[in-house]
């Protein structure tokens, strides 16, 4: 019952048809599917099933903490403390052993110390770029995001997957050329 609330946490980016903003639950499904479909772009030996599990749980803390807009430095700075408090409450709803397991998956995702976590984070960053690229910039012009700001975010994609990072760069430069990202 608790996790149903994730369907009501709204993100900044839009669906591919631009009809409305995306929620965290459908986003989590989408990036889980990306892990299954784009698995060949992960480093060899990456445990993709672990990546899927990580992506399904990665936003649960936003039930309490909300979605921090990645290009808002004030929101981003306040987020780790809010998310830690959320994790303390939400994962404790489960039996102890199970709560620890799911929390460990979330912490692994946040720390990006494993290939699985780096690939999961890369997909999480890649998805809104793909959506914005295909919706005339989507949330980028709306929030006056510059091409430099988005280029900065590509580093995290490159660290998880070189080929996905290269493709994200391509999409960003195309979007900039079309005027969907400010200089």
Residue from 13, 25, 79, 123 in contact with a second copy (CB under 8 A): 25
Using a 10 angstrom Cβ sphere, with 0-12 exposed, 13-18 middle and 19 or more buried, the burial of residue 170 is exposed
Residue range at the interface with a second copy (CB under 8 A); choices 16-24, 113-121, 158-166, 167-175 = 16-24
Using a 10 angstrom Cβ sphere, with 0-12 exposed, 13-18 middle and 19 or more buried, the burial of residue 58 is buried
Please give the residues from 84 up to 103 whose contact with a second copy meets the rule CB under 8 A.
94, 98, 102
**C-beta closer to a second copy: residue 22 or 124:** 22
Query: Which x/- pattern, by CB under 8 A, does the window 126-165 give for a second copy?
Result: ----xx--x-------------------------------
The CA distance from 76 to 68, in Å, is 6
Q: Under the criterion CB under 8 A, does residue 82 sit at the interface with a second copy?
A: no
3-class secondary-structure state, position 21: strand
Question: How would you label 33-54 residue by residue, b for 16+ Cβ within 10 Å and e otherwise?
Answer: ebbeebeebbeeebebebbbbb
The CA distance from 163 to 26, in Å, is 25
Q: Under the criterion CB under 8 A, does residue 78 sit at the interface with a second copy?
A: no
User: Applying CB under 8 A, which residues contact a second copy?
Assistant: 1, 3-8, 15-17, 19, 22-23, 25-26, 28-30, 32-33, 36-37, 49, 52-53, 56-57, 94, 98, 102, 130-131, 134
């Amino acid at each position: 019952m608790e996790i149903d609330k994730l369907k009501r946490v709204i993100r900044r980016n839009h669906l591919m048809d631009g009809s409305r903003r995306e929620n965290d639950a459908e986003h989590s499904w989408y990036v889980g599917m990306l892990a299954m479909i784009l698995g060949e772009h992960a480093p060899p030996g990456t445990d993709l099933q672990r990546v899927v599990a990580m992506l399904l749980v990665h936003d649960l803390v936003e039930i309490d903490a909300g979605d921090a807009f990645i290009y808002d430095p004030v929101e981003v700075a306040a987020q780790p403390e809010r998310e830690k408090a959320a994790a303390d409450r939400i994962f404790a709803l489960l039996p102890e052993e199970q709560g620890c397991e799911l929390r460990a998956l979330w912490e692994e995702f946040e720390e990006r110390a494993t290939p699985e976590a780096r690939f999961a984070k890369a997909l999480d960053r890649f998805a809104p770029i793909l959506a914005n690229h295909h919706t005339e910039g989507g949330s980028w012009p709306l929030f006056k995001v510059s091409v430099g700001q988005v280029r900065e975010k590509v580093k995290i994609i490159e660290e998880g997957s070189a080929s996905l990072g290269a493709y994200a760069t391509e999409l960003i430069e195309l979007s900039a050329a079309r005027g969907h990202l400010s200089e």
